[in-house]
Structures are given as structure tokens and as C-alpha cells.
């Protein structure tokens, strides 16, 4: 196949297995798993991890119209095994090692990675927590042993109705004896140092101390 040559198009040659090519609106495109691997050529490890988390996350059928993740860990591992010598393969392997099922957005993944690297306890990601009879909430990051929950508030949380819901949610955690840490975009600058410090303080107040 000839490499495309036109303004704004950079062509590449590569080895493709049959199941790595699919179609969208009549156009041939690479599968999600293969595209993830190809992204490793240009992206850094954390960026590749963000993509992996997106592919692995369990969807919410009521919002997305699907019940299965785009890929499984086995799917991505098989892609790595198939193309062991391709550029970026080492970064992709590290990214898959630090990927997890649960993160619902890129900021959540970056927050999780920052907390892990800071030496904080291993957290659960997007797991349901029973706060009381009939009250179950799912926070982005949960430290169950210390009853600390962490949530990343994106731009949608600035809307009036969402603010009311967020206040009610925080009150539910408080009544159940939990401490809810709310993180925003401003906490994620400079390597998420402010976010890490905020979560660390909450954990220390609940009795956690670094070993």
C-alpha cells in the first residue's frame, strides 16, 4: 500500500493483523487496542496510561448504551506481545502495569497516579460505598480503612444544580463518619502537588502515617 502524500498527512507503514483493522463510516481505521499501542510512539507513559484506563473502564449502560469495556487487560497484553519490537513498546508496557479498571476520566487517572507516587496508601477506584441504609455513593478514590473519600470536581460541578447535589453528597459522607476531599483543576497543577497535600492531610487526620 502506498504511503499517503498530501498536505497535512504524514504516512507510515506498519504490520497489521486482520483484527487490528476495522471500519468507521466506510473508512478503514485501526482498532482501539492497536491505536493505543501506536500512541505510545509519541505520548509519555502517563498519557498512555490515561488511554489504557479509558479502554479498560466498565461503562455505565444507562448513560453510554453499552455494558462491556472497549478492551480488557488481556486484549492490551496481546497487542504488546504481537508487536514486541515496535517503537514505544516499553512505555506501553509500563503504562499497562500502572493502568487500572475504574477511572472515569483523564483527571481521575492523573490524580490516582500522583497519589500513588507520593507514597500514599493504595486506594480503591470508583467502588460503591454504603453510607447508610439505602445510601450508596461511589467516590473517585476511596481509602476505606481511614474513611477518606476523594472526588475530582470537573467543570460540570460549577452548575447550580450540581452544586446543590455536591453539598448534599458531602453531608451524606460526613453523617456516615467519612471525610470527603474535593479536588479541582487548580489542585492538579505542578504535578498535582496541592491535590496530594490535601489528601495526605486528610489521611493523617484519620490516623494514617507513612511507614
Q: For 112-162, write each residue's pLDDT tens digit.
A: 999 999 999 999 999 999 998 889 999 999 999 999 999 998 776 667 677
CB atoms within 10 A of CB 66: 10
Here the CATH number for the domain that contains residue 148 is: 3.40.960.10
* Phi/psi of residue 173, nearest 5 degrees: -65, -45
Question: CA 179, CA 49: separation in Å to the nearest integer?
Answer: 28
Asked whether residue 5 is domain-assigned, the answer is no
Asked whether residue 150 is domain-assigned, the answer is yes
- Of all residues in the chain, what percent carry a pLDDT higher than 90? 73
Given 71, 98, 125, the domain boundary residue is 98
Based on the fold, state whether residues 38 and 118 are members of the same structural domain. no
CA-based end-to-end distance of the chain: 58
Based on the fold, state whether residues 42 and 66 are members of the same structural domain. yes
Asked whether residue 68 is domain-assigned, the answer is yes
Question: CA 106, CA 63: separation in Å to the nearest integer?
Answer: 18
Given 44, 65, 98, the domain boundary residue is 98
Based on the fold, state whether residues 92 and 27 are members of the same structural domain. yes
Q: Which three cell numbers stand for residue 211?
A: 511507614
The pLDDT assigned to 39 comes to 94
Based on the fold, state whether residues 69 and 86 are members of the same structural domain. yes
Asked whether residue 210 is domain-assigned, the answer is no
The pLDDT assigned to 200 comes to 98
Q: How many domains does the chain have?
A: 2
CB atoms within 10 A of CB 157: 14
Based on the fold, state whether residues 124 and 184 are members of the same structural domain. yes
3-state SS assignment for residue 68? coil
The pLDDT assigned to 63 comes to 84
Domain that holds residue 157: 106-205
Based on the fold, state whether residues 147 and 201 are members of the same structural domain. yes
Q: How far is CA 155 from CA 88, 104, 110, 138, 186, in A?
A: 33, 14, 16, 19, 11
Q: Which three cell numbers stand for residue 93?
A: 508496557
Based on the fold, state whether residues 86 and 119 are members of the same structural domain. no
Rg (CA), the chain: 20
The pLDDT assigned to 166 comes to 81
Contact in structure between 131 and 173 (CB atoms under 8 Å): yes
Residue-level pLDDT, tens digit, the chain, 211 residues: 555 567 777 766 778 899 999 999 999 999 999 999 999 999 999 999 999 999 999 998 888 888 999 999 999 999 999 999 899 999 999 999 999 999 999 999 999 999 999 999 999 999 999 998 889 999 999 999 999 999 998 776 667 677 788 888 899 999 999 999 999 999 999 999 999 999 999 999 999 998 7
Asked whether residue 11 is domain-assigned, the answer is no
pTM of the model: 0.86
Given 35, 65, 98, the domain boundary residue is 98
Asked whether residue 6 is domain-assigned, the answer is no
Based on the fold, state whether residues 139 and 72 are members of the same structural domain. no
Based on the fold, state whether residues 200 and 163 are members of the same structural domain. yes
What is the dihedral sign for C-alpha 157, 160, 162, 167? Answer: positive
What are the b/e assignments for 128-145, b being 16+ CB within 10 Å? Answer: ebebeeeeebebbbbbee
Based on the fold, state whether residues 141 and 122 are members of the same structural domain. yes
Based on the fold, state whether residues 94 and 113 are members of the same structural domain. no
Asked whether residue 83 is domain-assigned, the answer is yes
Contact in structure between 48 and 95 (CB atoms under 8 Å): yes
Asked whether residue 35 is domain-assigned, the answer is yes
Amino acid at each position: 500500500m502506498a504511503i499517503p502524500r498530501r498536505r497535512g498527512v504524514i504516512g507510515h507503514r506498519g504490520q497489521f493483523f486482520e483484527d487490528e483493522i476495522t471500519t468507521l463510516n466506510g473508512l478503514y481505521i485501526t482498532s482501539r487496542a492497536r491505536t493505543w499501542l501506536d500512541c505510545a510512539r509519541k505520548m509519555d507513559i502517563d498519557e498512555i496510561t490515561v488511554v489504557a484506563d479509558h479502554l479498560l473502564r466498565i461503562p455505565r449502560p444507562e448513560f453510554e448504551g453499552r455494558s462491556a469495556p472497549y478492551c480488557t487487560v488481556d486484549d492490551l497484553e496481546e497487542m504488546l506481545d504481537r508487536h514486541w519490537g515496535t517503537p514505544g513498546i516499553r512505555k506501553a508496557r509500563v503504562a499497562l502495569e500502572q493502568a487500572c479498571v475504574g477511572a472515569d476520566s483523564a483527571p481521575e487517572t492523573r490524580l490516582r497516579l500522583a497519589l500513588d507516587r507520593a507514597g500514599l496508601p493504595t486506594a480503591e477506584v470508583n467502588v460503591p460505598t454504603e453510607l447508610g441504609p439505602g445510601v450508596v455513593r461511589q467516590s473517585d478514590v476511596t481509602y476505606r480503612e481511614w474513611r477518606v473519600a476523594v472526588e475530582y470536581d470537573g467543570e460540570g460541578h460549577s452548575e447550580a444544580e450540581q452544586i446543590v447535589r455536591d453539598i448534599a453528597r458531602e453531608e451524606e459522607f460526613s453523617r456516615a463518619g467519612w471525610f470527603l476531599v474535593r479536588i479541582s483543576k487548580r489542585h492538579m497543577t505542578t504535578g498535582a502537588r496541592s491535590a496530594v497535600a490535601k489528601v495526605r492531610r486528610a489521611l493523617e487526620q484519620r490516623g494514617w502515617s507513612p511507614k
